[in-house]
Structure 1
Amino acid sequence: MKRIDESNKRASTILGFALIPLSGFALDVYIPSLPDMASKLHTVPSAIQLTISIYLISYGICQLFIGSLLDSFGRYLPSVIGLLFFSAASFIIARSESLHVIYLMRAIQGIMVATIVVSKRALFIDLYSGDKLKHYTSLFSVIWASAPIIAPFIGGYLQFHLGWQANFNFLGYFGLLLVTLELIISGESIKQKHPFNLKQIAGAYGLMIKTKDFTVGMVVLALTYAMMLVYGMTSPFLIEKLMHYPATVTGNASLISGVSVLAGGLLSKYFITRPFVKKILIAASVQSIVAIGLTIFTGYLHNIYTLLAYVIILHAAIGFIFNNVLSYLLTRFTNNGGKASGLAGGGYIIFTSAFSYTVVSALSIKSQVWLGVSYSVLSVAVLIIFACTKWIGEPVTIKKLAHEEPIPLPVID
């Protein structure tokens, strides 16, 4: 099997970065098409919104175990197989008129994307170490944030000119392009394979779940990210059906959403040395106050600009809170960095899909006021839960705990 060496190391690194946002592309590119899918497939919006939740649940569950499987079977072959199955599932969705087939293919896409993305994150651990590794992994969240900026923008124009199937055809051809580059450029990066030990993984996960601040942190991440998903599920219907704008406007609004989240994430890096609890409490308080205020205001006046006010202010707060709390979780168990990141990444995604779908279904969001209510409920929940939890310290500091030996900053594997 072809391996990565000095001759293709740089190109493989660039390709690895290109594959990391794939999870977001598969989620966000067809957001502007949700109303058209509901119309063409003759179903209710909630049935189409369920395709998002199914994708996220399969993506989240797969992350819990795929890292250890990749340690056993390598990175390269699973990534290639994952890209091929991802493309096949995309083409099947584009040609299907059955919701049940689409649901199944979205579940397969979630599993394949988790395999691809986690294998590429592991590639960086295999190839780099020390400051170089920290530098590259610090770029993960910035690069990942490119998906919600670019994907809906592309999806809006594909929907406007070609219809909803074009977005899944795009994903299919994009996957084929990436697998071609993978076969030409990349190779196996793992130095030594390790046996898969389910009992050891379950024991480590059990310890982490019993640790209150870690579990609460996952819930905070889920509630925070659920706000973005609620917006993603409902904004196409509000913009295209209620305000009668074309799908391109939905894509442009999602682009602004992605930029706002990225700005919040970059702001969190600027305030990285500030006290963890204090800065999150301030951000969550501001977010709750703004959400409640905008909800009241949109009861009297609502248009595309008030919707963008939600997006710019609240989504920037989401980016700030999310990045800080995720950093805390990734450094909480320094002797189990990979498993901690796998549980944090998979756990919050599973919670997110449940929270967002429940909120959308329970509140039946058909106006900006109800969108504001959902933001308010989730924001206040984040504030209360965070304020009632004891946090042990700063996420940017690797500390020696009573039963742990410090190792380099953990990253997702």
Structure 2
Amino acid sequence: MKHAITITLLSLVFLFQGTSDLYASSMPEMMKYFSTNQAGIQLTIIIFLVSYGIGQFIWVYYSERYSRKKVIVFNILVFIFASCMAMKSSTLEMLYIARLIQGISISGLNLNVKAMPLEIFDTTEIKIFFTYFALIWGAGGTIAPWIGSNIQYFFNWKYNFAALAIYAILTLLMAIRFIPIQSGKIIQNKISIGDYKTVLTNLGFISGVVAQSCTLSMFLAFNYYMSFYIQNIKHYSELTFGYLSFAAGLSFVLGCLLFRFSINKFNSNKLSIICSLVALAAATLSILLNNLASPSIVLTVIFTCLIIFCSGVMASENIGITMMFFPKKASVASCLHTAIHFIITSIFMYILSLFSYSSLLVISSFYLFFIMVFLATNQYCYIRLKKRVIA
């Protein structure tokens, strides 16, 4: 039964990432369709991320008072409605509203997918689950842009949202069949202000969330910045971008796999540090090359894939240690983890959208910043957890 629950939960993880990455290759076309600029289309991403984060505070209340299954099923239904609404959008404002609803519904799913393993799995199973969580999250970012580029090439951007609705229907059937009415452990019935205060004042947990924001930003930056650069500046097709995005996403997945099969063989924190330093060197070298000349798109993608490969290892180690600070406050920890790290990520993405996509120096500099912040915050998180500062 645990295997069926795990597969169902991980299928929802794929939906999280697909919602944000499926139409990445369509953004230049959407910019023309709605007669807006780069920032106008990227705002659909920012709205989704912010509502994704804030929505956690809505669903944490209901998740503790009703069965997680009911909350999951309800949010999948809302997501299906929002996806159909996005597909039918004739104005940018209508698309913004649809993305807002999508973000809120996905937040309810994310909250429960992160909290449920803490209630039904043991410590080792939790680590393995969250490794697969990061792996499937990366797989979503790998496959979604490639699928979206083909949908864009053969149909148009609206059919991306139709594909999301169809996939959501499949996950709905799995959730109804396999997710139990309640979790294996006793769920706390009341959430107090003190619970939020306990989590928010744990600096180890907060530093871990900031570190997670950096790994998410490294992954998203490629799709949302390079989509415009590759198609509008280099004049490659949406299919070419789809394949390049696939290569970047695959790099993340391989990084997650490396971490998964190294858990019992190497010190996971030391592996994360090594990968962080390799990524730091790659970002620094990329900046130097962009200052000296304009590197080829192939060389750019190689450097980016190396950075994202390392971020796969970094993200896998980070989410595992961060979520273990509060096993007895699963919903609150999951709520704040997602809310804070998505809001921080949305701020990073907004700042990135303000820069022109005509130069690779911008994204290389952002990568350097993300890696340095990750190194500092993730190490602090690890040290605090090692000292067993756990509620």
Which band: TM-score by shorter chain? 0.7 to 0.9
1:12-411 residue pairs with structure 2 within 5 A? 12-64=5-57, 66-124=59-117, 128-129=121-122, 135-183=128-176, 186=179, 188-190=181-183, 194-208=188-202, 211=203, 213-270=204-261, 272=263, 279-299=271-291, 300-333=293-326, 336=329, 338-361=331-354, 363-383=355-375, 385-386=376-377, 390=380, 393=383, 400-401=388-389, 404=391
Read off the aligned partner of 1:72 and give its amino acid letter: R
- Tell me, yes or no, if the aligned pair for 1:94 and 1:169 is still in contact at 8 Å: yes
State the distance in 2 between where 1:325 and 1:219 align.
10
Q: Which has the higher contact order (CA 8 A, sep 6+)?
A: 2
Structure 1 window deviating more from structure 2 (338-347 vs 75-84): it is 338-347
State the distance in 1 between where 2:362 and 2:118 align.
44
Q: Is the alpha carbon distance of 1:340 and 1:80 closer, same or farther for their aligned partners in structure 2, counting shifts above 3 Å?
A: closer
Q: Is the alpha carbon distance of 1:147 and 1:310 closer, same or farther for their aligned partners in structure 2, counting shifts above 3 Å?
A: same
State the distance in 1 between where 2:270 and 2:109 align.
37
TM-score (norm 2): 0.87
- Tell me, yes or no, if the aligned pair for 2:218 and 2:370 is still in contact at 8 Å: yes
Displacement of 1:307: 2.7
Structure 1 window deviating more from structure 2 (253-262 vs 222-231): it is 222-231
Read off the aligned partner of 2:252 and give its amino acid letter: V
Read off the aligned partner of 2:103 and give its amino acid letter: G
Displacement of 1:336: 4.0
Displacement of 1:177: 3.2
Q: Is the alpha carbon distance of 1:391 and 1:222 closer, same or farther for their aligned partners in structure 2, counting shifts above 3 Å?
A: closer
SS of equivalent residue, structure 2 residue 223: helix
State the distance in 1 between where 2:94 and 2:161 align.
14
Q: Is the alpha carbon distance of 1:182 and 1:393 closer, same or farther for their aligned partners in structure 2, counting shifts above 3 Å?
A: closer
Read off the aligned partner of 2:249 and give its amino acid letter: G
TM-score (norm 1): 0.83
Read off the aligned partner of 1:347 and give its amino acid letter: I
Displacement of 1:26: 0.5
**Greater helix percent: which structure?**
2
Paired position in structure 2 for 1:411: none
Displacement of 1:163: 1.0
Q: Is the alpha carbon distance of 1:366 and 1:393 closer, same or farther for their aligned partners in structure 2, counting shifts above 3 Å?
A: same
Displacement of 1:265: 2.2
Q: Is the alpha carbon distance of 1:391 and 1:342 closer, same or farther for their aligned partners in structure 2, counting shifts above 3 Å?
A: same
Displacement of 1:288: 2.4
Aligned length: 388
- Tell me, yes or no, if the aligned pair for 1:75 and 1:122 is still in contact at 8 Å: no
Displacement of 1:324: 2.1
Displacement of 1:364: 2.1
Displacement of 1:137: 4.7
Per-residue Cα deviation, 1:130-157 (whole angstroms, up to 9, x for no partner): 6556554543222222211111111010
- Tell me, yes or no, if the aligned pair for 1:94 and 1:165 is still in contact at 8 Å: yes
State the distance in 1 between where 2:51 and 2:171 align.
22
Structure 1 window deviating more from structure 2 (308-317 vs 115-124): it is 115-124
Q: Is the alpha carbon distance of 1:99 and 1:201 closer, same or farther for their aligned partners in structure 2, counting shifts above 3 Å?
A: farther
Displacement of 1:275: 5.6
Give structure 2 stretches of 5+ with no counterpart: none
Q: Is the alpha carbon distance of 1:280 and 1:204 closer, same or farther for their aligned partners in structure 2, counting shifts above 3 Å?
A: same
Per-residue Cα deviation, 1:103-141 (whole angstroms, up to 9, x for no partner): 121121111112123334445455555655655454322
- Tell me, yes or no, if the aligned pair for 1:38 and 1:48 is still in contact at 8 Å: yes
Structure 1 window deviating more from structure 2 (272-281 vs 157-166): it is 272-281
Larger radius of gyration: 1
Per-residue Cα deviation, 1:371-392 (whole angstroms, up to 9, x for no partner): 3233233334445x449x7556
Read off the aligned partner of 2:194 and give its amino acid letter: Q
Give structure 1 stretches of 5+ with no counterpart: 1-5, 405-413
Paired position in structure 2 for 1:407: none
- Tell me, yes or no, if the aligned pair for 2:22 and 2:147 is still in contact at 8 Å: yes
- Tell me, yes or no, if the aligned pair for 1:30 and 1:155 is still in contact at 8 Å: yes
State the distance in 1 between where 2:215 and 2:234 align.
27
